[in-house]
Amino acid sequence: MEDGIVSLRGVRKVYEGKQAVTAVAGIDLDVREGEIYGLLGPNGAGKTTTISMCTTRVLPTAGTVHIAGIDAVRNPADARRTMGVVPQYNTLERACTVAENIQFHCLYFGFSKADAKARTAQLLEQFHLTERAGAYPAQLSGGLAQRVQIARAIAHKPRVLFLDEPSAGLDPQSRIAMWEAVQRLHTEGITVVLTTHYMEEADELCDRVAIVDGGKILVEDTPAALKNSVGAKTLYELDLREPSDTLGPILAALPHVSGVEQTPRGLRVMAEHADGLLPQVVSAASGYGLRDLSITEPTLETVFIRLTGRDLRE
Ligand SMILES: Nc1ncnc2c1ncn2[C@@H]1O[C@H](COP(=O)(O)OP(=O)(O)OP(=O)(O)O)[C@@H](O)[C@H]1O
Ligand SMILES: [Mg+2]
């Protein structure tokens, strides 16, 4: 395996306490230079802990972390120069304006006063923040605050940007604006590692996705390959009045059906071809209290359910 710009080997994290928690249970991963890499998983999967070990906020219990070839455990200060970090929660300095937040970050990373000023002006412009330069963080919407955090994180021109749940709590419009900002950084060549529990975000934004659960990577691939791995082109979501044990096997025996799964509301029928199947599904299910039916394609959510038997949101 070629070492990536972000390279984790055998990384584990156990939080000690009254009851020890294994947050990360052995992760190997390599992020390629220039890609947008996503860690997709439900609450408590270990996403923040994994990112925090990359960004030197949390020390691994075992394993090695290299960022741009630098051992992040042994040389955290050097590693931090190569990375920008946007944590899960807003960490803007509340007593400083938007411009000051960015400028002080530049100064902290060794820019001269003049360079810090120039870089700040350029970032305010790039992120459409110039008009809000004098505003304080408390006066910003969630979407704007997130944009300031990203602008600040890349101010020292890091090679890798880590974003922990970048769209948590954002309205749909701000989320799309954030995606556009990340995509633009991507075209400029920066490597992006993000965590999310939104499968649409992972699908839309990421070149490769690792699905994590219980502190482990279950699978890792391009979104398209992950969706293909479901082995079905069409999914029928059946909403049933009551659960049924007998309907599943009947549906599974229909032609082109590759699988049938329980869902909270009924059953999911997975088919290799949709050709002529719908009337057969409807007629089989109508004797079992079929209330509604929708036809979809596999998503990363489907992949997650297949791997864990659970919903991403559960
Ligand atoms: N500082 C800590 N001390 C003890 N346990 C912790 C600590 N931080 C996280 N954990 C536990 O480790 C596990 C993984 O947490 P982590 O925050 O990494 O997950 P996550 O995937 O980021 O979840 P979320 O979607 O809620 O952000 C959880 O069981 C969590 O309760
Ligand atoms: Mg988290």
Q: How do residues 17-36 score in pLDDT, each as one tens digit?
A: 999 999 999 999 999 999 99
Pick the CATH number of 231-297 from 3.10.180.10, 3.40.47.10, 3.30.70.920, 3.40.640.10: 3.30.70.920
The answer, as to whether pTM is greater than 0.95, is no
The residue whose CA is least distant from atom 26 of ligand 1 is 43
In this predicted structure, what is the pLDDT of residue 77? 96
**Could you tell me the sign of the dihedral formed by the alpha carbons of 30, 32, 33, 37, in that order?**
negative
Considering every ligand atom, which ligand is closest to the CA of 57?
A: 1
Question: Which residue, among 202, 233, 204, has the nearest Cα to 220 in the 3D structure?
Answer: 202
pLDDT band at 231 (very low <50, low <70, confident <90, very high): confident
In this predicted structure, what is the pLDDT of residue 196? 95
Task: State the average pLDDT over residues 77-89.
Answer: 94
CATH of segment(s) 6-219: 3.40.50.300
pLDDT band at 214 (very low <50, low <70, confident <90, very high): very high
Task: State the average pLDDT over residues 117-133.
Answer: 96
Q: How far apart are CA 185 and CA 187, in angstroms?
A: 5
- Integer-rounded Cα radius of gyration of the chain: 23
The residue whose CA is least distant from atom 1 of ligand 1 is 15
In this predicted structure, what is the pLDDT of residue 314? 61
* Boundaries of every domain in the chain: 6-219, 231-297
Report the DSSP beta bridge partners of residue 266: 239, 263
- Strand pairing category for 257-263 and 70-71: unpaired
**Helices (H) then strands (E): counts for the chain:** 11, 14
Task: State the average pLDDT over residues 224-229.
Answer: 94
From 11, 12, 39, 47, mutation site for ligand 1 pocket: most ligand atoms within 8 A of C-beta: 47
Distance 134 CA to ligand 2 centre (A): 31
Please check the confidence at residue 1 and state whether its pLDDT lies above 60. no
pLDDT band at 147 (very low <50, low <70, confident <90, very high): very high
**% of the chain with per-residue pLDDT over 90:** 86
Amino acid (one-letter) located at 230:
V
Considering every ligand atom, which ligand is closest to the CA of 44?
A: 1
Task: Show the ligand 1 pocket: residues with CB < 6 angstroms.
Answer: 15, 17, 21, 23, 41, 43-49, 88, 197
What is the overall mean pLDDT for the chain? 94
Considering every ligand atom, which ligand is closest to the CA of 58?
A: 1
75 phi, psi to nearest 5 deg? -125, 65
Cα of first residue to Cα of last residue in the chain, in angstroms, is: 34
The residue whose CA is least distant from atom 25 of ligand 1 is 43
Q: How far apart are CA 283 and CA 168, in angstroms?
A: 42
